[in-house]
Chain A
Amino acid sequence: MANNLYEITVYSENQVGLLSFIANTFTRRSINIESLRVFPSEIPGVHKFTIKSRTTEEQILQVVKQIEKKVDVHKAFYYVDDERHVREIEAVQALIDSRMEENR
């Protein structure tokens, strides 16, 4: 399968240890991280990671699922290029809202 430059975005709680967990998810599968950024997202209290990596879609799917499995992670996305953003923000906000609603 062909290698592509992927951008992975992760929305999570601000939890100690998550950064190294997310980095490990790549290195464990021998996937190089080209760049990594962590910053507060537009949603209050929710942090955002963006990671760029060159790998296959099959690998990136596994990585995204393993990251999403972590308790403190809301959602992870991946893209081949720079599509996205507004759609993501809306999706995460909607997810949190619906879960809060269910729990009410």
Chain B
Amino acid sequence: MSGADILLQSLIDQGIDTIFGYPGGSIMPVYDRLYDYGDRLRHILVRHEQGAIHAAQGYARAKHFPGAVIVTSGPGATNVITGIADAMIDSTPLVVITGQVGANLLGTDAFQETDVIGLTGPITKWNYQIRRPEDVAWAVARAFYIAKSGRPGPVVLDFAKNAQTGMAEYKKEQCSFIRSYDPYPEVKLADIAKAADMINASKRPLIVYGQGIILGNAEKELLSVIEKADIPAGSTLLGLSGIPSDCPNYLGMVGMHGNIAPNVMTQKCDLLIAVGMRFDDRVTGKTDEYAKQAKIIHIDIDAAEINKNVKVDLGIIGDAKTVLPRIEALLEKKDHSEWKKVAAKCREIEEEKVIGPECRPGKGYINMGEVVETVAEVTKDSAIIITDVGENQMIGARYSRYNQTRSMITSGGLGTMGFGLPAAIGAKIGAPERPVCLFVGDGGLQMTIQELGTIMQEHTGVKIVLLNNNWLGNVRLWQELFFNERYSFTRMLNPEYKLIADAYGISYKVVNRREDLRAAVEEMFADDKPYLLNVEVEEKGMVFPMVPPGKSVSEIMLNKKDWLEYGE
């Protein structure tokens, strides 16, 4: 078989049935063979390689399976860099195959040659240049093992053209062991006992969980701990949907635009149990003041995360699915109703000062929060929510509700504008049975708007909700609050979106009156076809509450004038 055939056969052996890609010179031997694999491999032709990689990210996170990308060398490879960096920081399993010039041309500045191994080294979990057809099956097997195991991440295989055309014998390969790599470290029993003791002794425990819960399939295990020891729990942005929003001990999202309760309780708890999260600065605010009064237990599969941003009293390196049940077995049943009154009081304040004005203003322009709440009501919290980056993301995360896991896909660590539309396409292809709803701003939509072509060609039933305020809203918000209202290059003149939707054959409606909103959202979700709903929202909409940069997480702005006054 040719190296190209071995690649495709190896992908199939690894369980891949969908590839996001874009052809070009140095990958043509693979595309030539792909032509004959139509019955086994579905190829999604995107409109730009950035679309391919973000779509693969959306696919991987919706389906809980590595996304596969095939692009060409040079510009094809550099166009996927943003998505690889995004997948690295958000722990998304991807296998990215980049074409490369023939091994004899490497280092000669050949046409469309670029140093992909050098470029992607810092942003991949592993990368490898395949220069011989004999290495293809081995490299693909290893790539999938590394991408999926431990803390997941992106892997790049740089596939030299001579290895694509050269012939080798094909032998099915699986990889489940690398002698220098220990993805599931053994958990120390003494640490488990110590954690359980600390939790049993705690009067005011708080759990903050992240995407590790979802990546590790540990949703049930987390819920059992929460229920048995009656511990209130807040989620990071990427942990959202890890436990259902209607769980009585669920406090909402932590961090800069998080809910008030988990942020205030972070500064009042006597024990913080962090699971599958990495203390991002958007979560901790000022780290010197973060949970200073509390003991901290940090459970994470990545040893490098322990004591990286926040010093902890007990670090447990391990898989949440293994660690949590072992701790739970040693936990005493508890009733923390007294402690949870803090949450009730915070909710009351947030409802009155923030949620009410945002979601039920009754007059004026439509607010972003009203739109997100309407979608949650109409879909009965069942949709996979995709967001772009910015205000749409924070409002989308805050006001969506989740009744099943893997329902929130967003660019967390890298904050990649333009992520939303292609990620939504990938999510819908990965989970076709679920409604997929994208919240996107007018800025982010126009960064990858060409992927409407992919939607047209593939008939991907993505519901696009454009929260259109004619501004780069989140930067505008910071300019209003922190840069003396100097709106430097954040005003956008937008195109006529109806013409764009028509051009791509996508159903379209524009809404600018509150009374029309619900009917429009209902119409959008009436079928499974692509739809662009352009909601002209309040131009100077804000996202509150807000922990301003450099403040501790209990220093919370409720609106432009009022700060949270909670008292002792």
Q: Residues on A close to B: CB < 8 A?
A: 12-13, 16-17, 20-21, 24, 28, 61-62, 65-66, 68-69, 71-74, 96, 99-100, 103
Contacts from B to A (Cβ < 8 Å): 117-118, 121-122, 125-129, 146, 177-182, 302-304, 307-308
**Contacts A17-B121, A74-B180; is A62 near B308 (CB within 8 Å)?**
yes
Contacting pair B182 A99 (CB below 8 A)? yes
Whole-angstrom distance between the Cβ of B379 and the nearest chain A Cβ: 39
Cβ of B178: which chain A residues have Cβ within 8 Å of it? 71
Taking CB atoms, residues of chain A closer than 8 Å to B304 are 62, 65-66, 68-69
Give the Cβ gap from B152 to chain A, nearest Cβ, in Å.
12
**Given known contacts A13-B180, A28-B122, A103-B177, A71 and B146 CB-to-CB distance under 8 angstroms:** yes
Q: A71 near B125 (CB under 8 angstroms)?
A: yes
Min C-beta distance of B130 to chain A, whole Å: 11
Q: Which residues of B contact A16 (CB under 8 A)?
A: 117, 128-129
- Do B303 and A68 touch (CB < 8 A)? yes
Partner of B181, one of A20, A62, A71: A71
The interface residues of chain A lying within 8 Å CB-to-CB of B125 are: 71
Nearest chain B CB to A25 CB, angstrom units: 9
For B302, the closest partner residue in chain A by CB is: A69
- In angstroms, how far is the closest chain A Cβ from the Cβ of B85? 13
CA distance A73 to B179 in the complex (A): 9
Q: How far is the CA of A100 from the CA of B182 in the complex (A)?
A: 11
14 example contacts (A-B, Cβ-Cβ < 8 A) are as follows: A12-B180, A17-B121, A20-B118, A28-B122, A61-B307, A65-B304, A66-B304, A68-B304, A69-B302, A69-B303, A71-B126, A71-B146, A74-B179, A99-B182
Contact of B121 among A13, A20, A68, A73 (CB under 8 A): A20
Which of A17, A66, A69, A99 has a CB less than 8 Å from the CB of B117?
Answer: A17
- B302 — which chain A residues lie within 8 A by C-beta? 69
Shortest distance between the CB of B100 and any CB in chain A (Å): 13
Complex CA–CA separation, A23 to B146 (angstroms): 22
Chain B residues positioned under 8 Å from A96 (CB to CB): 179
Most A CB within 10 A of own CB, among B125, B304, B308: B304
* Residue among A24, A68, A69, A71 with the highest chain B CB neighbour number at 10 A: A71
The answer to whether B303 and A24 touch across the interface, beta carbons within 8 angstroms, is: no
Kindly list chain B residues whose C-beta atoms are within 8 Å of the C-beta of A66: 304
- Cβ distance B310 to chain A, nearest Cβ, rounded Å: 13
Whether the pair A100, B179 counts as a contact (CB closer than 8 A) is yes
Question: Closest residue of chain A to B117, judged by CB?
Answer: A17
Cβ contact of A24, chosen from B121, B182, B307, cutoff 8 A: B121
Do B180 and A17 touch (CB < 8 A)?
Answer: no
Chain B residues near A13 (CB, 8 Å)? 180
CB distance from B131 to the nearest CB of A (A): 10
Question: Complex Cα distance A17/B119, Å?
Answer: 10
